[in-house]
């Protein structure tokens, strides 16, 4: 049984209108804090059976509307994604690249980041090797490095562009949703307060 619980909207989260709750995540029950109790959503037959057994449940309803700020931010993203706006000329890319420490915290905390690396370590016998798949981070310089010392993304600016393009335009065509759930964790943890959303909010039409 899968029971979801809504996040508490805060200054970083913008998941409000990205369609995550309703479209792509299956659940049996979904709880959202309401006044004096919880709002309960039923997502499956199992959830319905559980609700039927709750004697003190007074009403079943849909989740309350999203926060205005989250909805506005999500609307900017939606418009830009629809237009395939990649903000190539934005001065923000240079600003991000200048400030970024390449610490990787934004990817580490991201619930949808999954980049990996595959490394091979030769054994002392000269005959065998161990191949390991390990977590990696696209903001690390070594992530774009391949055999021969060639690096596809040498600069921080290029690495930022890659992360952005993958999140919003690379994953979508494959899975039908962008690779960002709007949790806002990356915005919160960045030690130099870099926020990719500034790109979307820069253009509001």
Using the contact rule CB under 6 A, the part of the chain among 1-9, 59-67, 98-106, 118-126 near ligand SF4 is 98-106
Of the residues 143, 153, 161, 167, which one makes contact with ligand SF4 according to CB under 6 A: 167
Which of the residues 112 through 151 are near ligand SF4 (CB under 6 A)?
A: 112, 139
Q: Does 184 bind ligand SF4 (CB under 6 A)?
A: yes
Residue closer to ligand SF4 (CB basis): 101 or 132: 101
Residue closer to ligand SF4 (CB basis): 41 or 194: 194
Q: Does 111 bind ligand SF4 (CB under 6 A)?
A: yes
Q: Does 19 bind ligand SF4 (CB under 6 A)?
A: no
Q: Quick one: which of 199, 195, 164 has its CA closest to 11?
A: 195
Torsion sign, CA atoms 149, 150, 155, 158: negative
Q: Does 41 bind ligand SF4 (CB under 6 A)?
A: no
Of the residues 20, 105, 115, 177, which one makes contact with ligand SF4 according to CB under 6 A: 105
| DSSP-based helix, strand, coil % in the chain, nearest 5 | 40, 15, 45
What whole-number distance in Å separates Cα of residue 134 and Cα of residue 56?
49
- Tokens describing residue 168: 């919003």
Q: How far is the CB of 29 from ligand SF4 (least distance, A)?
A: 23
133: Cα within 13 Å, side-chain hemisphere: 3
Q: Does 183 bind ligand SF4 (CB under 6 A)?
A: yes
Q: How far is the CB of 138 from ligand SF4 (least distance, A)?
A: 10
Alpha-carbon distance values, 63 to 47, 53, 79 (Å): 16, 21, 24
Residues in CB range of 120: below 8 A, 6 or more apart:
129, 130, 131, 132
Rg (CA), the chain: 21
What whole-number distance in Å separates Cα of residue 111 and Cα of residue 93?
23
Q: Does 178 bind ligand SF4 (CB under 6 A)?
A: no
Q: Does 77 bind ligand SF4 (CB under 6 A)?
A: no
Q: Does 2 bind ligand SF4 (CB under 6 A)?
A: no
Q: Does 186 bind ligand SF4 (CB under 6 A)?
A: yes
Which residues are at the interface with ligand SF4 (CB under 6 A)?
A: 100-106, 109-112, 139, 167, 180-186, 189-192, 194
């Amino acid at each position: 049984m899968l029971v979801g619980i809504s996040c508490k909207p805060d200054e970083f989260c913008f998941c409000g209108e990205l369609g995550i709750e309703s479209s792509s995540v299956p659940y049996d029950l979904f709880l959202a804090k309401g006044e004096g109790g919880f709002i309960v959503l039923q997502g499956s037959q199992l959830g319905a059976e559980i609700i039927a057994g709750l004697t003190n449940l007074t009403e079943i309803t849909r989740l309350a509307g999203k926060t205005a700020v989250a909805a506005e931010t999500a609307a900017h993203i939606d418009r830009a994604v629809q237009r395939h706006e990649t903000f190539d000329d934005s001065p923000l890319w240079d600003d991000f690249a200048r400030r970024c420490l390449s610490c990787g915290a934004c990817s580490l905390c991201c619930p949808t980041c999954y980049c990996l690396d595959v490394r091979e370590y030769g054994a002392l016998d000269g005959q065998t090797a161990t191949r390991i798949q390990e977590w990696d981070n696209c903001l690390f310089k070594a992530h774009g490095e391949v055999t021969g010392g060639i690096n596809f993304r040498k600069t921080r600016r290029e690495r930022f562009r890659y992360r952005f393009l993958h999140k919003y335009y690379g994953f979508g065509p494959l899975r039908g949703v962008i690779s960002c759930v709007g949790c806002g964790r990356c915005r919160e943890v960045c030690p130099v307060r870099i926020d990719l959303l500034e790109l979307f909010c820069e253009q509001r039409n």
